[in-house]
Amino acid sequence: MKITGKIISCAKASAICGYRCCDQDPVITAGNARPTDYIMMYPGEYNACDTRQSHLMPVAAYCGGILARCAKECFDQSQCDPLANYKPLDCMSYPLMPKVDGGCVTLFKDDRCPLTETDISESHRETTQKRWQELAAVNPDVLDWLSSLTMDGYTQ
């Protein structure tokens, strides 16, 4: 099962949020930004991306991974598609994010996203969880990274 991260209802909900999930602050200044306000790239992900990631701007190291922003000034975010550009797993998973709970990967939803539980298909949920579990199983750094994340604003 290929994860693309496309959620059909997202285009309709963008009228409410303006694709807020793709609008990261350009710089982190002490005390005014949360890591969940950026694209959280797991350990090794940024270095492993191919040349289709020119729209991703690394901002800071974070818990062994990288916080990045999508450079909307040079990229039409409404056209984001993993077949045309590199789409980080955080973006493909959104509005869901994994968390390690008792050694298992569980999913949390970002409360800032206007999508409802019914807007997020069971297929998206299952595929997202499976992809993160598989990644954590082969890369212990990812499991450690997920365990260290603070997910303010997300609920299970």
Can you give the pLDDT at residue 1? 40
38 occurs within a structural domain: yes
In the chain, what percentage of residues exceed pLDDT 90? 6
Higher pLDDT: 37 or 129? It is: 129
> pLDDT tens across 26-68, in order?
555 555 557 778 888 999 998 887 666 778 888 888 888 988 8
Residue 48: inside a domain = yes
For residue 3, tell me if it sits in a domain. Answer: no
Domain annotation covers residue 12 = yes
Instruction: Supply the range of the domain harboring residue 112.
Output: 8-155
pTM here is 0.81
Which structure tokens are listed for 23?
């609008």
Higher-confidence residue of 64 and 11: namely: 64
2 in a domain, yes or no?
no
The count of structural domains within the chain is 1
CA separation, residue 11 to residues 6, 104, 119, 121, 156 (Å): 10, 32, 11, 15, 24
- The 10s digit of each residue's pLDDT in 60-89 is 888 889 888 887 777 776 677 777 778 889
H or E, element range at 47: helix 45-48
In a domain, 85, yes or no: yes
**Predicted confidence band at 106 (pLDDT cuts at 50, 70, 90)?**
confident
Decide if 79 is inside a domain: yes
